[in-house]
Amino acid sequence: MASAAKRAPAKKADAKPGTNPTTPKPVEFNKQQELDAYRAMLLIRRFEEKAGQLYGMGFIGGFCHLYIGQEAVVTGLKMSLIEGDQMITGYRDHGHMLAMDMSARGVMAELTGRKGGLSKGKGGSMHMFSKEKHFYGGHGIVGAQVSLGTGLAFANKYRKNNNVALAFFGDGAANQGQVYESFNMAALWKLPVIYVIENNRYAMGTAVSRSSAETDFSHRGISFKIPGIQVDGMDVRAVKAAADLATEWCRSGKGPIILEMLTYRYRGHSMSDPAKYRTKEEVQKMRSEHDPIEQVKARLFEKKWASEEELKEIDKEVRDIVADAVDFAQTDPEPDASELWTDITL
Amino acid sequence: MPRKTMIEAIRDGLDVMMERDKRVVVYGEDVGYFGGVFRCTAGLQAKYGKERCFDAPINESGIVGTAIGMAAYGLRPCVEIQFADYMYPAYDQLTQEASRLRYRSAGDFTCPLVVRMPTGGGIFGGQTHSQSPEALFTHVAGLKVVVPSNPVDAKGLLIAAIEDPDPVIILEPKRLYNGPFDGHHDRPVTSWSKHELGEVPDGHYVVPLGKALIRRPGAAVTVLAYGTMVHVALAAAEETGIDAEVIDLRTLVPLDLDTIVESVKKTGRCVVIHEATMTSGYGAELVTLVQENCFYHLEAPVARVAGWDTPYPHAQEWDYFPGPARVGRALIETMEA
Ligand SMILES: Cc1ncc(C[n+]2csc(CCOP(=O)(O)OP(=O)(O)O)c2C)c(N)n1
Ligand SMILES: [Mg+2]
């Protein structure tokens, strides 16, 4: 399978040789890692497919941004984290929450606006949190989370806890001014933050080339002396390798780092997007040649690490989790009217 | 006369002005190639080229900031902020730069800038896609603030705004884009094609800034409303049978105080409604003005119906939204007071 990272070849890192990291080779996964990655990505895929269906049936209203196609990014990154590392992201957040082990029921019920939703129906698709799982949201305002993630990293450094904050944002979000304010502070204060730029080529209906002067997002930190690498975000092993490098970079006190994940969203931006700004062929090509889940599956078969039956077993397990979440999200009661007035200020 | 949705009317207004005035440029997020997420700029890039209708990166501060510079040197930028909820990064530019360019240069420079932004709720947008921030603009000296409630006004006010020499913020109630939503979310919305206010004249015409319109003449109580709430107020009057005089303010700054005062002096009662949160909302200003100007004519306290002082909820949209039942209750109470 051709590497998706090849489509925008990284230019040579500018700084002194030996100081800046370069894109590492994909990690060789052992059997357990392949199976774990397969299951984690499949859970996101099936969850999102169901969310899309519930939306179509009218159980979910408003906005709902699916992560289908991008599963390898959050899955590979999560594999390198230690307890206490934080994630914060934008509104395309369901995958991140599932990767952080937040309950599928809680996420789905938030989508349907029920009492048992992670934000008790107050937040919806774009706004969910979990202190316990170190997930800091779910943010509907493009770019806002980047500064917040930088602040999380400051708190990590202040507390000397050896933790790293992962601030995720898109190719479109990368043009917001506060991103660069954050870069400067993070580099100045040597904060342990990984800026994960999920470059899925589009910001809504606008292709990267229509909105960005520098389309190699790994270079966006150059004037702040923040190193960046481009990663094949469709290959979970490549993501894991980059995640190992980046977490090590941050934990050893070298400050921030940028990981540009070359990825792709298969579905429309939100649910009501006819996606006329790209061709069906383009989508089909990514699906058939780069699908993150199919890649793992192919390797599992090739190495004879799993049979069809064994993968079906995982499939079933995942489908059961999702079915349970769907059931919960449809039957859980709506929040009590009194909830309208809670959690505003004390 | 052709019937148009509010979206088509706005597009038509932009088209008319781009055609007439080469200084007009239109840009914003997804505005050029894609034609805008609500389609208000569809076809304009194809017609006028990428130099006059184009995409901006996602950076609201940059969009408005550059537009101010363009305006200062004689262009007539009309920019779109995709949702009013995204305007906050641009708020600094609007309040500190756009609003005061005329004042700080003692009239040497002006800022003929238009910023359009979809406002309000009713689309399950939750807290980051439903806000009504008009009071944040009316509070700033030097900004004009417009809220259309129908297609024919939307076009005429837009043209007036583009021709105005000062910065104008147009808050377009997104729930009205396709039809006159009256708050009855469980009923199908009639489309503008079946509504007389969907009749939008071709070509150039102006609805002047600062002129309110009496949508429903009445003798019992004056209702001051704008945007979506105009239609809610009409529904509430209908359903309670109270002979309310419903005034569509159309522009909040400049405000048509004369029309308001004349009406309240006639009815002796007044209800002020808006979708935005109550505290320090624009309604507070309206109530004060009514009190200052009509005190001796009032037979009841001036009532307010507004969004609750909470963030806009996801799950409980219709508990938040001040629909016809809540407005109707206020009408009854004001009549009984
Ligand atoms: C401040 C702000 N501006 C605009 C938007 C509207 N908006 C939501 S998502 C989006 C596109 C973002 O694209 P990207 O950062 O590439 O992320 P992706 O959707 O591709 O994951 C836009 C313009 C917003 N939510 N907030
Ligand atoms: Mg994107």
- Concatenating the DSSP letter of every residue in B85-146 gives GG-HHHHHIIIIIGGGHHHHTTTS-----EEEEEE--SSS-GGGS----HHHHHTSTT-EEE
Give CA–CA dist B174/B5, Å, rounded.
11
Residue B75: name the closest of B25, B114, B16 by CA: B25
Q: If you take atom 11 of ligand 1, which residue's CA is the nearest one?
A: A203
Residue B98 lies in a domain: yes
What residues form DSSP beta bridges with A200?
none
Span A199-215, pLDDT tens digits? 999 999 999 999 999 99
Residue to test with chain B: of A59, A65, A141, most B Cβ within 10 A: A141
Name the one residue in this structure whose structure tokens are 């949508």: B215
Q: If you take atom 20 of ligand 1, which residue's CA is the nearest one?
A: A203
pLDDT (0 to 100) of residue A12: 46
Q: Mean pLDDT, chain A, as a whole number?
A: 94
The CATH number assigned to the domain with range A29-325 reads 3.40.50.970
What is the distance of C-alpha A208 from the center of its chain? 18
Q: Which ligand is nearest to the CA of A170?
A: 1
Name the one residue in this structure whose structure tokens are 């006329």: A276
Give CA–CA dist A196/A229, Å, rounded.
10
pLDDT (0 to 100) of residue A18: 52
Which of B176, B200, B220 is the C-terminal boundary of a domain? Answer: B176
Token couple for B319? 């508990």
Q: Rg (Cα) of chain B, in Å, rounded?
A: 19
Q: Which residues of B touch A175 (CB under 8 A)?
A: 57-59
**Domain hosting residue B299, numbered range:** 210-336
Say if CB A135 and CB A97 are below 8 A apart: yes
pLDDT (0 to 100) of residue A15: 44
Which ligand 1 atom is at minimum distance from the Cα of B89?
Answer: 1
CA nearest to A124 within chain B:
B314
Q: Please give the DSSP secondary-structure letter assigned to residue A14.
A: -
Q: Please give the DSSP secondary-structure letter assigned to residue B198.
A: G
Point out the residue among A126, A277, A339 whose CB comes nearest to the CB of B34.
A277
> How far does chain A reach from its first CA to its final CA, in angstroms?
55
Does the distance separating the beta carbons of A204 and B30 come in below 8 Å? yes
Residue B197 lies in a domain: no
The number of residues making up chain B comes to 337
- The whole-number average pLDDT for the span A110-133 is 97
CATH number of the domain that residue B309 is part of? 3.40.50.920
Residue B258 lies in a domain: yes
Min Cα distance B51 → chain A (Å) is 13
Q: Quick check: helix, strand or coil at residue B41? A: coil
> Are B323 and B217 in the same domain?
yes
A13 confidence band (pLDDT: 50, 70, 90): very low
Does the distance separating the beta carbons of B320 and A340 come in below 8 Å? yes
Q: Quick check: helix, strand or coil at residue B337? A: coil
Point out the residue among B37, B126, B309 whose CB comes nearest to the CB of A123.
B126
Q: Ligand 2 centre and the CA of A205: distance in Å?
A: 9
> Are B161 and B26 in the same domain?
yes
Residue A58 has pLDDT above 90, yes or no: yes
Taking phi over 0 as left and psi of -120 to 50 as alpha, with beta for the rest, B36 belongs to: left
B204 is catalytic: no
pLDDT (0 to 100) of residue A14: 46
Min Cα distance A199 → chain B (Å) is 14
- The whole-number average pLDDT for the span A142-152 is 98
Residue B119 lies in a domain: yes
pLDDT (0 to 100) of residue A10: 46
**What is the SS3 assignment for B136-170?**
HHHCCCCCEEECCCCHHHHHHHHHHHHHCCCCEEE
Torsion from C-alpha of A145, A150, A151, A157, nearest 10 degrees: 150
A2 confidence band (pLDDT: 50, 70, 90): very low
Residue A84: name the closest of A40, A36, A136, A37 by CA: A136
How many structural domains does chain B have?
Answer: 2
> Are B153 and B60 in the same domain?
yes
Q: Rg (Cα) of chain A, in Å, rounded?
A: 19
Residue B282 lies in a domain: yes
CATH number of the domain that residue B151 is part of? 3.40.50.970
pLDDT (0 to 100) of residue B189: 86
- Per CB distance under 8 Å, which residues of A are interface residues toward B? 61-63, 113-114, 117, 119-124, 126-127, 140-143, 172-173, 175-178, 203-206, 210-212, 277, 334-335, 337, 339-341, 344
> Are B217 and B169 in the same domain?
no
Q: If you take atom 21 of ligand 1, which residue's CA is the nearest one?
A: A170
B75 CB neighbour count, 10 Å cutoff: 18
Span A158-191, pLDDT tens digits? 999 999 999 999 999 999 999 999 999 999 999 9
Give CA–CA dist B162/B172, Å, rounded.
15
Residue to test with chain B: of A63, A171, A198, most B Cβ within 10 A: A63
Residue B260 lies in a domain: yes
> Are B43 and B161 in the same domain?
yes
> Are B51 and B162 in the same domain?
yes
Say how many CA atoms lie within 13 Å of A52 toward its Cβ. 18
Q: Ligand 2 centre and the CA of A111: distance in Å?
A: 22
Which of B128, B157, B176 is the C-terminal boundary of a domain? Answer: B176
Consecutive 10-residue runs of chain B (337 residues): their mean pLDDT?
Answer: 95 98 98 96 98 98 98 98 98 98 97 98 95 98 98 98 98 97 94 96 98 98 98 98 98 98 98 98 98 98 97 94 98 97
Alpha helices by DSSP H, listed for chain A, are 31-56, 71-78, 94-99, 104-111, 144-159, 177-188, 208-211, 236-251, 280-290, 292-302, 308-331
A20 confidence band (pLDDT: 50, 70, 90): confident
> Are B102 and B163 in the same domain?
yes
Give CA–CA dist B208/B50, Å, rounded.
30
Say if CB B203 and CB B292 are below 8 A apart: no
What is the distance of C-alpha B101 from the center of its chain? 23
User: Cis ω on the peptide bond leading into residue B57 (within 30° of 0)?
Assistant: no
A272 confidence band (pLDDT: 50, 70, 90): confident
> Are B265 and B166 in the same domain?
no
Residue B198 lies in a domain: no
Residues 126-145 of B with CB under 8 A from A: 126-129
The β-bridge relationship of strands B213-216 and B244-248 is antiparallel
CA nearest to B86 within chain A:
A141
A209 CB neighbour count, 10 Å cutoff: 9
Angle formed by the axes of helices A31-56 and A104-111, nearest 10°: 20
> Are B18 and B157 in the same domain?
yes
Counted across chains A and B, CB pairs separated by less than 8 A come out at 110
- The whole-number average pLDDT for the span A295-304 is 98
A226 confidence band (pLDDT: 50, 70, 90): very high
> Ligand 1: which of B86, B88, B92, B117 to mutate, most ligand atoms within 8 Å of CB?
B86
C-alpha distances out from residue A69 to A45, A233, A285, A314, Å: 8, 10, 12, 19
> Are B124 and B257 in the same domain?
no
Residue A274 has pLDDT above 90, yes or no: no
> Are B217 and B123 in the same domain?
no
Residue B112: name the closest of B147, B140, B70, B149 by CA: B70
